[in-house]
Amino acid sequence: MTMTEQHDTVADETAQTAADPASPQVTGGGEAEATTQAPASDAATDGAVEAASETDAEGSSDADAAGAAGAGARRRPAKTADLEREGEVAADFLETLLDIADLDGDIDVDVDGDRAAVSIVDSDEGRVPRRLVGTDGKVLDALQELTRLAVQSATGERSRLMLDVAGHRAERRAALVTIAQQAIAEVRASGQQASLDPMSAFERKVVHDEVLAAGLVSESDGVEPRRFVVVLPG
């Protein structure tokens, strides 16, 4: 190749690179040098979302872990109108689901603090099938996640709505309050920490709130699905 041909080749490559910013940059030696950055790993993104989800469920007890995972998965504070919108979208999704499965049930929508609260309740046509709750509420938990995803798809915002079926969560909440109060009394009497049985994120949140209201401290320990609450002396 002559000097003139080599000069023309380098000029053509330089012009092509300028036209395509994503293409590799050519150095004086003719070797390609990639300048684009690789996208952030999916694992890091998933970790941030998981940590933020744990914070939503359990409150301040796991806030440090969520903060370390980064602010990328945090959602903006929801307004009442936004929560009402979440409830409406969830209700439409659940009504469609019940119709497809030919199941009875009415939908109640409310706002509970900083969350939309949606309940499937018995209707005049019949009772809500208790199989929608499942063993230890596992079917209910799965249905809640599906409903949250449907809301997120419609609104573009990650949802923290709570779903109940046939009053299962309300009944479980009352039982958890009693369990928490017994643990609080035990810790105060003995001065020693007390560990409770493994619970879901929703159940741990109820216990954490009750312990906090009593002026004591609690934390979560263990790994899902065997994660549990430890009540500590004040």
Domains and CATH numbers, the chain: 44-74 (no CATH), 80-166 (3.30.300.20), 170-232 (3.30.1370.50)
pTM value is 0.63
CB 24 within 8 A of CB 32: yes
Is residue 117 a contact partner of residue 109, using CB atoms and an 8 Å limit?
Answer: yes
* Number of Cβ atoms within 10 Å of the Cβ of 148: 21
DSSP calls for 11-49: HHHHHHHHH-TTSPEE-TTS-EE--PPPPPPHHHHHHHH
pLDDT in tens, 15-45: 444 444 444 443 444 444 333 343 333 333 3
Name the region of 167 (left: φ>0; alpha: ψ -120 to 50; beta: rest): left
Backbone phi, psi, residue 68, to 5°: -65, -30
Q: What is the pLDDT of residues 199-222, one digit of tens each?
A: 988 899 999 999 999 999 999 999
Cα–Cα distance measured from residue 86 to residue 150, given in angstroms and rounded to the nearest whole number? 10
